[in-house]
Amino acid sequence: MADHLNLLYAQRVNRSDIGSWLLGPRAALEAQGSVFGYRGERLGLPEAGIGAIAGTGRRLIAITVDWYCAIFIVRLIDSDLIYGSPEFARATLGIFAIQVALLTSLNGASFGQKILGISVVHIAGNRLPILNVLLRTGLLCLVIPALIWDRDSRGLHDKIARSVILRVR
């Protein structure tokens, strides 16, 4: 019986089936022959350059710039608020939401996104409608939807708002 189990284990389980936790499930599936293509291929976008899906690094730096701008604006408006207090946090989130929604609806990008050369557009390629901008901003402020991504690196907030973040330079 033990020989039978050892043979069964040797035939069914190997490292390529399990995948490395460092490389993730996509790498394991690609090693087994699955083809995923590049980010944005399913949307008809180029693989690299202008018009391609913006990289994670650019997006993280952009949102960090936007958040620090919101903190700066809160400090300008009310310097008596104590950093780290619930009131300061609510004010910062409010300013962040207003800034992102307003600038995305007017310019197609928030301040940080504009600096880093990325833009938010509708998946059809045109400007994102105001209701979609508000929906996307609200979901972004909830944080969790922005942390759930698909294989095109689009967050749940982008999928629901039918938007995509593209490189513009």
Where does residue 3 rank: exposed (0-12), middle (13-18), buried (19+ CB within 10 A)? Answer: exposed
Q: Could you report the per-residue pLDDT of 102-144, keeping only the tens digit for each?
A: 999 999 999 999 999 999 999 999 999 999 999 999 999 999 9
**30 has a pLDDT exceeding 90:** no
User: In this structure, which amino acid lies at residue 129?
Assistant: P
Residues 7 and 83 in one domain: no
State residue 110's pLDDT score: 97
Structural domain span for residue 107? 41-167
**53 has a pLDDT exceeding 60:** yes
Query: 151, 152, 157, 148: which is closest to 46 by C-alpha?
Result: 152
Distances (CA, A) of 164 to 10, 65, 78: 44, 19, 35
Residues 133 and 54 in one domain: yes
Residues 8 and 73 in one domain: no
More confident residue, 8 or 78: 78
Residues 12 and 57 in one domain: no
Residues 11 and 54 in one domain: no
Domain contains 36 = no
**27 has a pLDDT exceeding 90:** no
State residue 23's pLDDT score: 65
Residues 69 and 117 in one domain: yes
State residue 2's pLDDT score: 60
Residues 54 and 103 in one domain: yes
CB 113 within 8 A of CB 165: yes
13-22, 67-76, 119-128, 140-149, range with the lowest pLDDT: 13-22
Q: How many domains does the chain have?
A: 2
Residues 92 and 115 in one domain: yes
Average pLDDT, the chain: 88
Residues 27 and 48 in one domain: no
More confident residue, 67 or 30: 67
**31 has a pLDDT exceeding 90:** no
Residues 18 and 76 in one domain: no
Distances (CA, A) of 156 to 48, 61, 160, 164: 22, 19, 6, 11
